[in-house]
Amino acid sequence: MAGRVRAVLGRLLQAVPVVIGVVVVSFLLTRALPGDPAVYFAGPAADAASIEEVRVALGLDRPLVVQFFLYVGDLVQGDLGRSISTGQPVAYDLANRLPASLELTLAALALSCSVAIPLGVLAATRPGSWIDHLCRVLVTAGVSMPTFFTGIVLIYVFYYLAGIAPAPLGRLDFLYLEPPHVTGFYLIDAALAGDWETWRGALAQLVLPATTLALFTMAPIARMTRAAMLSALSADFVRTARAAGLGPRKVLYGYALRNALLPVVTTLGMVFSFTLGANVLVEKVFAWPGIGSYAVEALIVSDYAAVQGFVLAMALLFVALNLAIDLAYTAIDPRIGFGAR
Q: What is the largest CA-CA distance in the chain?
A: 86
Contact with other proteins (CB under 8 A) among 32, 66, 110, 164: 32
- Is 29 an interacting residue with respect to other proteins (CB under 8 A)? yes
Binding mask 168-197 for other proteins (x = CB under 8 A): x-----------------------------
In the complex, minimum distance from the CB of residue 240 to other proteins, in angstroms, rounded to a whole number:
26
Q: Quick one: 162 exposed, middle or buried, by C-beta within 10 A (0-12, 13-18, 19+)?
A: exposed
Contact with other proteins (CB under 8 A) among 21, 43, 59, 247: 21
Q: What spatial distance separates the first Cα and last Cα of the chain, rounded to whole Å? A: 18
In the complex, minimum distance from the CB of residue 305 to other proteins, in angstroms, rounded to a whole number:
11
H-type alpha helices, the chain: 2-31, 37-42, 48-58, 64-76, 90-125, 130-144, 147-155, 186-193, 196-233, 236-243, 248-249, 258-285, 291-300, 304-332
Contact with other proteins (CB under 8 A) among 184, 263, 277, 337: 277
CA 132 to chain centre: 28
In the complex, minimum distance from the CB of residue 175 to other proteins, in angstroms, rounded to a whole number:
18
Nearer to other proteins, 243 or 300 (CB): 300
In the complex, minimum distance from the CB of residue 341 to other proteins, in angstroms, rounded to a whole number:
18
- The amino acid sitting at 303 is D
- Is 300 an interacting residue with respect to other proteins (CB under 8 A)? yes
Residue 289 CA to residue 310 CA, distance in Å, equals: 14
In the complex, minimum distance from the CB of residue 167 to other proteins, in angstroms, rounded to a whole number:
7
Q: Per CB under 8 A, which region of 53-61, 62-70, 151-159, 326-334 contacts other proteins?
A: 151-159
- Is 281 an interacting residue with respect to other proteins (CB under 8 A)? yes
- The amino acid sitting at 254 is G
Query: Residue 89's beta-bridge partner residues?
Result: 82
- Is 12 an interacting residue with respect to other proteins (CB under 8 A)? no
The answer to whether 289 touches 98, Cβ cutoff 8 Å, is: no
In the complex, minimum distance from the CB of residue 22 to other proteins, in angstroms, rounded to a whole number:
5
- Render the burial of 295-313: b for 16+ CB within 10 Å, e for the rest: bebbeeeebbbbbbbbbbb
Q: Per CB under 8 A, which region of 87-95, 146-154, 173-181, 254-262 contacts other proteins?
A: 146-154
Contact with other proteins (CB under 8 A) among 152, 204, 325, 336: 152
Q: Backbone phi, then psi, for 126, in 5-degree steps?
A: -125, 65
Provide the sign of the torsion angle of the four alpha carbons 207, 212, 217, 220, taken in this order.
Answer: positive
Binding mask 304-323 for other proteins (x = CB under 8 A): x--xx-xx--xx--xx--x-
Let me know how long the chain is: 341
- Is 127 an interacting residue with respect to other proteins (CB under 8 A)? no
In the complex, minimum distance from the CB of residue 209 to other proteins, in angstroms, rounded to a whole number:
14
Residue 207 CA to residue 158 CA, distance in Å, equals: 11
Which residues sit at the interface with other proteins, rule CB under 8 A?
17-18, 21-22, 24-26, 29-30, 32-34, 140-141, 143-149, 152-153, 155-156, 159-160, 167-168, 223, 227, 272-274, 276-278, 280-281, 284-285, 295-296, 299-300, 304, 307-308, 310-311, 314-315, 318-319, 322
